[in-house]
Amino acid sequence: MSERSRSWVELSAVVFSVCGLLSPAIVCGQVAPRPVIAKGEVTANDVYVRSGDSLNHYTICKLKAGDHVSIVSERGDWYEILPPSQAYSLISGDYVDSTDGRHGIVNGNNVRVRAGSVLNDNKYTVQLLLSKGSEVTILGRNPDGFLKIAPPEGATVWVNKSFVATGSDARIAMGSKVPAENRTGGASASPKTMKTPAPTTSAPTPTEAASASTASPSADGDATPAHGDAVVTKSDALARIDKTPQRDELARIDTAVNAELRKPVPDRKLKPYLERYQAIAKQTKDVVAQKYAQARATQVSDMIALIDTVQQLRRLDEEAASKRRGFQEGRAGIRTVTPSAPIGFDGKGVLKRSAVYPAGSPIERYRLVDVSSGADRTIAYVEIPGNSSLDAASLVGQYVGVRASAKRWEQGSVDPLPIYVAGEIVALDKPTQAHADSDH
């Protein structure tokens, strides 16, 4: 992930945290399994699973019609479910020890487990916290140092209720809810990206189904509507009943809104169409059109608010990038003073193995852990040259001093750590301060 993309994720996490959009399913200490309160069946194709209970949370994966989900709670228009088989979680490799690259043991307390995504690089939603000694199943390693793991007990994700049938509805969902022309074995209609109303007084709700024919690339490269935008499609219900001037106008507005949503986010002009929906919502001659327009007005209003938020986040991102460049330029101007001869050690700490570079890896690298503050915190990496005779493995777990023959900085990280190419490693007496684990 580029430095700019990483900055965008961090800014989003800060803003979403302030807005209360981070996952509410964060559990400290011992994690208890979530009891399943109901089983559900997905009723449409390409239904998004998200990291939280709103369209502002990032997508995790997609489900197809007929898939089953285990529901553990519900909030508003959303079901909290156990992660589907294709979902995974993420944890920092610095806080997991492993000898075989498949089974890991958490080496710190209150270590964050984040929701991973098969659709994008986002990982700002924290699912739960694991304590020291917790076991995890490692599925893979990311270049940024995070490990992909099987979702632990207590990890959950979210799906919109509009696309999940429960109880007796689950058995008839794919029969009675799909128009007859789509059940005859012919080509099925593309999923709607906004749920449209039947010819009753009930109002439609936003949906999570994505349509491949109308999707446009999002900011992180997904072939989905940008930032979770819904694409308005003409109501099948309205098309099957008698036309009225109000319904003809709704069809024209829907077509125009579709065109706007295919434009880049900053170029979308939706407020004029919101006013037209609101005008139809106020009339009383056609009740069906009135209810339809009321729901459309709510949805378009939400889109406008989301677009404003995205633009504000991008402005914050640009300001942060500008300040970061200024700091880097200032740091580059600081003169480095090199002593004529090495004095003392370049780094001191407890030598530990790195989960990213276990025994037998092509690169022999260890973590140097700080104990002066009582925190199991990585302060540097110690790399053993390929032609070195140093026996670093025999010093694992001991307090050591490192003299470096070369030093460089870790690349691709917001807070880079130094990498010491070891010239000498000396076992030292551990400081008197108590060594205690802390929150991470």
The answer, yes or no, to whether residue 187 has pLDDT greater than 60, is no
Average pLDDT, the chain: 76
pLDDT of residue 14: 39
Query: When comparing pLDDT for 98 and 354, which is higher?
Result: 98
Reading across the β-sheet that carries 47-50, which strands appear in turn?
59-63, 47-50, 157-160, 78-81, 68-75, 38-42, 164-166
> How many Cα atoms are found within 13 Å in the side-chain-facing hemisphere of 330?
6
56-74 pLDDT per residue, tens = 899 999 999 999 999 999 9
The answer, yes or no, to whether residue 227 has pLDDT greater than 50, is no
404-430 pLDDT per residue, tens = 989 988 876 667 889 999 989 999 988
| Tokens read off for 386 | 């390929």
The answer, yes or no, to whether residue 7 has pLDDT greater than 50, is no
The answer, yes or no, to whether residue 16 has pLDDT greater than 70, is no
- Other beta carbons within 10 Å of 262: 15
106-161 pLDDT per residue, tens = 999 999 999 999 999 999 999 999 999 999 999 999 998 999 999 999 999 999 99
- 313 neighbors 11 (Cβ within 8 angstroms): yes
Rounded to the nearest angstrom, the gap between the alpha carbon of residue 48 and the centroid of all alpha carbons in its chain is: 13
- Other beta carbons within 10 Å of 397: 10
- Other beta carbons within 10 Å of 179: 11
- 110 neighbors 131 (Cβ within 8 angstroms): yes
Query: Bridge-partner residues for 79, per DSSP?
Result: 74, 159
| Tokens read off for 284 | 């009383």
Q: pLDDT tier at 311 (50, 70, 90 boundaries)?
A: confident
Rg from Cα positions in the chain: 27
CA distance 405 to 187: 67
pLDDT of residue 374: 67
DSSP secondary structure string for all residues of 166-196: ETTHHHHHHHHTS-GGGSSSSPPPPPPSBPP
Look up tokens 């900085």; give the residue.
Answer: 409
